[in-house]
Amino acid sequence: MINNKHALPLTQQCKILDLSRSNMYYQPVEICEYDLNVMSLMDEIHLRYPFYGSRRIRDELLDNGFNPSRGRVINLMKKMGIEALYQKPRLSKPHPGHRVYPYLLRGLKIDRANQVWATDITYIPLAKGYVYLVAIIDWASRKLLTWRLSNTLDTSFCLDALDEAIELFGCPEIFNSDQGSQFTSEAFTAWLKEHGIRISMDGRGRWLDNVFIERLWRSVKYEDVYLKAYDSIAVARKELREYFDFYNKRRRHRGINKRFPDEFYWKTLPLKIAA
């Protein structure tokens, strides 16, 4: 599909084909089957018990017939981009030189579309590797606005998702994320500032600050990813596209009085933006 010899720039080819720029360089992740099985189980453990650290995750792995060292569990947690989530002192910055912004949502009444957007990244297991999924949701309606897959934890696929969200839905008043280096990077925060969007970031380890997107990860993994066991990144992209269409348009959400996210979004979108 992507032609390196074509006169059209690669970035334009990716935009036409709805592909992330990072996927131009995608190669299957070389990792042993044992580690893949361990990582898949670790993902499920982390989703059930987000407060578990490496010791308790290793205990769960032992109970399920795996015996990796704690050091190996720690390395795999870093590769997957997960850590124990609980209130704790901020002992280190996400990335040297990156500014961390205050959390703006505490006590704020959020009741309309495009008032607050939120984003996060999660790990998606494949049959012979893994990819990362970034998503942007509208906080009030729970509508998933855009998403991208990437084989690396870089900033570009997050920017791709942000570009598309702004192009399709306008700009939110506030954009909330965790303190991951992708979202604290100058490239990402500068793009938000350029569009006049206020930046909000969760307290370190405070998963409840971005609880709605954490619930999205639980839904997509238990209702689709774990059931279907995606074979490849192409299959993952196809299945996720179908699931997110279902999630937005045909899955009722208790948090918005059992309405559909897509319906709630368009009904609460300010008229000056909707027009």
For the four alpha carbons of 230, 236, 242 and 243, in that order, the dihedral sign comes to positive
Average pLDDT over residues 18-33: 58
Backbone angles phi, psi at 71, to 5 degrees: -60, -40
Assess contact for 85 and 205: CB atoms under 8 A.
yes
CA–CA dist 129, 247 (Å, integer): 26
Q: Give 39-45 contacts, CB < 8 A, sequence gap 24+.
A: 39/76, 39/79, 39/80, 39/123, 39/125, 39/130, 40/125, 41/66, 42/73, 42/76, 42/77, 42/80, 42/82, 43/80, 43/82, 43/123, 43/125, 43/221, 44/221, 44/226
Average pLDDT over residues 154-176: 95
* 101, pLDDT greater than 70: yes
pLDDT, one tens digit per residue, over 170-219 is: 999 999 998 888 999 999 999 999 999 999 997 654 555 578 888 899 99
* 87, pLDDT greater than 70: no
CA–CA dist 149, 134 (Å, integer): 7
Which residues lie across from 129 on neighbouring strands? Answer: 126
Count of helix runs (H) and strand runs (E) in the chain: 12, 5
How confident is the prediction for the chain on average, in pLDDT? 84
Assess contact for 198 and 224: CB atoms under 8 A.
no
pLDDT, one tens digit per residue, over 227-269 is: 998 999 999 999 999 999 999 999 999 889 999 999 999 999 9
Amino acid at 186: E
CA–CA dist 178, 183 (Å, integer): 7
**Structure-model confidence comparison of residues 20 and 85, the more confident one:** 85
Q: How confident is the model at residue 20 (pLDDT cuts 50, 70, 90)?
A: low
